[in-house]
Amino acid sequence: MTRLFNDPAAFADEALEGFAAAHRRWVRPVTGGVVRAAATPAGQVAVVIGGGSGHYPAFSGLVGRGLAHGAAVGNVFASPSARQIHSVAEAAHGGAGVLLMYGNYAGDVLHFGQAAERLAADGIDTRTFAVADDISSAGPDDSAKRRGIAGDLPVFKAAAVAAEQGLPLDEVLGVAERAGARTRSFGIAFSGCTLPGADHPLFTVPEARMAVGLGIHGEPGIGEEALPTADEAARLLVETLLGELPEDVAGPGGQRAAVILNGLGSVKYEELFVVYRKVAALLGEAGVEIVDPEVGELVTSFDMAGVSLTLTWLDDRLEELWRAPADTPAYRKGALGTPEPEQAPVTTRAQDTAVPDTAALPPASDASREAAGTVLAALDAVARVVDTHADELGRIDAVAGDGDHGIGMRRGSTAAQRAATDAHGLGAGAGTVLARAADAWADKAGGTSGALWGTILRSLGTALGDQEAPDAPRVADGVTEASAAVRRLGGAEVGDKTMVDVLVPFADTLAAATAEGLPLSDAWDRAATAATEAAAGTAGLLPRRGRARPHAEKSLGTPDAGAHSLALITRAVHGVLLNH
């Protein structure tokens, strides 16, 4: 378990601060992550990678020559926010565009996609690529739904070396696509990991058993088998990967492959070498030529006891990129000569943004400022109810997911409450208070829930505005727009076992009740009751989206964590409306 920490909510920030202090030769800190110590050469595409904390050396440890130009780092097991990604990419940009690369998880897809839009709006040509190498998380026909695990490394490296060779942005993206299409991974685990501040692991494996097809965010495996010997484990890993070759690889015989045997946190190097001896023998028997194998911890999951095997099937071009030198804090290969000199920190626009003063606030009417007090009281109630139920939300989420929902919701709601307090103190109207709370929630929470709650609050803020006193129909319109925006952004619909299963009936019920002429508190009460019933109903659904999807059967009988937290919040806000 994780024993050394201060405030669990500050763990990711403090770890990144310490990492940057220890590796100044390679990296310098910027808002949201780190970039290379030396600026990206003019005219070179910048490859910016990223993801949640808890996976070191991914992602910050892979920044340096021959690999990434920068890394955006989120909270524990949660994607960095769009603002963090934008900040890192802006600092890394060398004038030739940016390729954003990440594992294929819903939160990362949302935030990196939003960051790409913002960068493009700033005139920075940007592309995105999600690594999807884990064959246990979806079948070959659904490979676009696969999650990214240790296959991140060879795909990141191929793109980064291509960028350093001077290829233009679209060709660098093409290299990433080629490497991703030829990379497959599969893993097993013997115990789950324990998050900072938690007193139990996210999942457990029965004695003398192993989990098969695990994720790197503490997700349980898709099945269990008897505990193997090292040779039996090697055979399972190799035979599983040889059972699914890329479309343009006719068979393993005569092929070359980059091979990574990855330790997930507490399987020691000597154990990995025992397994690798058999991996190498089995691949040799199959006629595979192993190229520059890597055995060690490359993409971890805190203290999870597990291993994964990655094969990247090489052609001449991919082999050249895989063999190329690299020099980063955690991954070094070959020789690159004299290190580039450190440079003074470059201030990005995100770092320049000071605490807003009254001059920066949009004008607001007295009625809207008064309504902002109610908004602030509601956000206070949201933060309290989330804090009270954070451990429960994490437990629910861990049944088939990664168990970080409570942590993310606590970080997001607390940040939103603080931002709202500051804006209200400066005399902001209701719309601006909600808009600043939205940005803070998305930024601090990261992950899918951060993006979606930022969208909810911003939609409400837009509907309320800063000029008119909010009435029941206006609030209902804002909730209706929030419901539609969440579905557009996340792609989920009712029945997918997500927060949408609660948000849609809540919005529909609120709209119908206000259309009947009910006062807001009464209409909200009716809608909150519908939300509570809908959240309970998600226990009978099988997830069709998100990290719980590969473990759908495990979640049957347990409500969705996002749906449950939304229902709790709607009821807490009703208590505020009764008193305002």
In 236-382, beta strands by DSSP E = 256-263, 289-296, 305-314, 326-327, 332-333
Q: Of 111, 217, 551, 574, which one is the catalytic site residue?
A: 217
Q: Which pair of structure tokens corresponds to residue 28? A: 């310098």
d(C-alpha 402, C-alpha 393), whole Å:
11
Q: State residue 258 phi and psi, 5-degree precision.
A: -80, 135
d(C-alpha 304, C-alpha 221), whole Å:
12
Largest distance between two CA atoms of the chain: 78
CA-closest candidate to residue 57, choices 298, 253, 249: 298
- Beta-sheet pairing, 209-212 with 332-333: unpaired
DSSP letters of 138-157?
S-GGGGGGPPP-TTHHHHHH
Q: Which residue do the tokens 């989206």 mark?
A: 545
Amino acid at 247: E
Active site residue 580: no
CB atoms under 10 Å from CB of 474, counted, come to 17
Q: Which pair of structure tokens corresponds to residue 427? A: 């005399």
d(C-alpha 363, C-alpha 386), whole Å:
32
- Beta-sheet pairing, 98-103 with 126-131: parallel
Burial of 5 (0-12, 13-18, 19+ CB in 10 A): middle
Q: Which pair of structure tokens corresponds to residue 50? A: 């990223």
Q: Which pair of structure tokens corresponds to residue 168? A: 């233009």
Report, in this order, helix, strand and coil percent for the chain, each rounded to 5: 50, 15, 35
CB atoms under 10 Å from CB of 281, counted, come to 14
d(C-alpha 151, C-alpha 262), whole Å:
10
CA-closest candidate to residue 110, choices 122, 128, 95, 94: 128
Continuous segment of H or E residues that includes residue 369: helix 366-398
Catalytic positions are 217
